[in-house]
Chains A and B, each alone.
Chain A
């Protein structure tokens, strides 16, 4: 992490923040009164990166020098991160440009009326003005650019899936493949799984969702949620245990499943849940 971007809130004096930011980016000329007004709107109490709020605010009010600083300071870092995700047909610089384009759009939620008396605010503020400084500007820019890249990937995946479905439908030509579970059984399984999941505590649900749906490892979950690694493991294991128990009880109670389906289903879910814990431990 760029050490320079770590800005600590040693004191809550907006004047000091202003002078620190103005000193750091001397080319960006933005008035102190506007900065303070801007801070009061973006919830000064929650701001962790006031210098970044200065830069984003100035850029939001379309000061060209602020945009130059953003491009100079952050483009290499953002593009570096974007290189790690390969998006077909999109170069990292394209995604960075699209992120800037998104931030240059006119802001719809910012209270422009509060700035009417300031003669400097001639142009309508752009979307970057909504940045509140709760995260660093660098992370904010990386995230926006990554999300744009992800959107492109998702669109590509949908295109491929649609093509695959069409090919498979064409190949099958009406020969319906028999599923192991009939409609009633499938609904029953879905119900049992939902029932099992609803019995979990909030933390257990959160861990299972993060591992099962977001593909996070145990360590990542613990880092993101602020648990210790052992706590995350405990939540995961108890969640899996509860789900298993509920499933087994449900199968035995319903009596609608023949032994073969029940056995296959249990072993399969056991395998999936086990693979979750294996993924988590890596």
Chain B
């Protein structure tokens, strides 16, 4: 409020205002401990009468009470620093959690995608191999001329029949491979997140 370049009128007015604000403030005794309580906890913990007494002492600077405001500010700043420190620790922890979540999800997805690709390729390859086998009507033994050819033809037909029989039993069918693939994919989908959760819990 104090201005060194103020005119005489402004000075008068300022003094009048300060006088008014001081009002009926009376110098009353205040102990160092009262002031320390105010500096540390504010005036909340004081009774109505004590609040007025301490405030008057502060504005009149009784017992150096005006310095209480400085100590109050310093202690407030220290508290803020502690709060900020704690907040930054919490922020770092949250950041780490988010990072773990994203990296864990990505790891899981990556594993899943890789496994899916692998098993699909195996399945396609397997299907391609099966489709390359001679079909039922492609070979007619009666059309063969020599005995050797007929014997060889018969052997091939026997192999084909045995493969078809094996395929009909379901052990090597495309459906069974798909079931196996689905199971593997399911396992791969469950295992990485489960491992990740286990690792998080151990932390």
Measuring CB to CB, which residues of chain A are less than 8 angstroms from any residue of chain B? 1, 3, 81, 84-85, 130-132, 134-136, 139-140, 142-144, 146-151, 154, 177-181, 186, 189-190, 193-194, 196-198, 202, 205-206, 208-210, 212-216, 220, 223-226, 264-265, 268-269, 272, 275-276
Contacts and interface: CB of A to CB of B under 8 A. Distances in A.
Nearest to B76: A223
B70 interface: yes
B71 A146 contact: yes
Contacts of A177: 8
Given A154-B61, A197-B21, A213-B21, 13 more contacts: A1-B75, A142-B74, A143-B32, A143-B39, A144-B32, A149-B67, A150-B64, A177-B8, A209-B25, A209-B59, A224-B43, A224-B72, A268-B10
B191 interface: no
B22 interface: yes
B72 A84 contact: no
A212 B19 contact: no
B122 interface: no
B197 to A, nearest CB: 34
Nearest to B48: A202
Among A198, A205, A210, A213, the one with the most B-chain Cβ atoms within 10 Å of its Cβ is: A213
B35 interface: yes
B13 A268 contact: yes
A113 to B, nearest CB: 21
Given A150-B64, A197-B23, A139 B13 contact: no
11 contacts: A130-B33, A136-B40, A147-B64, A150-B67, A154-B61, A190-B20, A198-B24, A202-B48, A205-B23, A220-B76, A268-B13
B70 to A, nearest CB: 6
A139 B8 contact: no
Nearest to A194: B20
Contacts of B66: 150, 214
Those 8 A-B pairs whose CB atoms lie nearest each other, nearest first:
A180-B9, A147-B64, A226-B44, A193-B20, A135-B36, A150-B67, A140-B36, A139-B40
A225 B12 contact: no
A251 B59 CA distance: 28
B55 A180 contact: no
A181 B33 contact: no
Interface of B is mostly: helix
Nearest to A214: B69
B71 A81 contact: yes
Nearest to A109: B31
B19 A194 contact: yes
Interface size class of B (residues with CB under 8 A): 35 or more
Contacts of A193: 16-17, 19-20
Contacts of A264: 9
A216 B70 CA distance: 10
A189 B76 contact: no
Contacts of A81: 71, 74
Contacts of B14: 272
B12 A186 contact: yes
A179 B155 CA distance: 132
A131 B1 CA distance: 36
A81 B76 CA distance: 12
A194 B18 CA distance: 10
B83 to A, nearest CB: 10
B198 to A, nearest CB: 34
A151 B72 contact: no
Nearest to A77: B78
Interface string B58-92: 11010111111111111110110010000000000
A189 B74 contact: no
Contacts of A151: 64
A139 B71 contact: yes
B70 A212 contact: no
Contact of A181 (B9, B20, B63): B9
Contacts of A134: 33, 36-37, 45
B148 interface: no
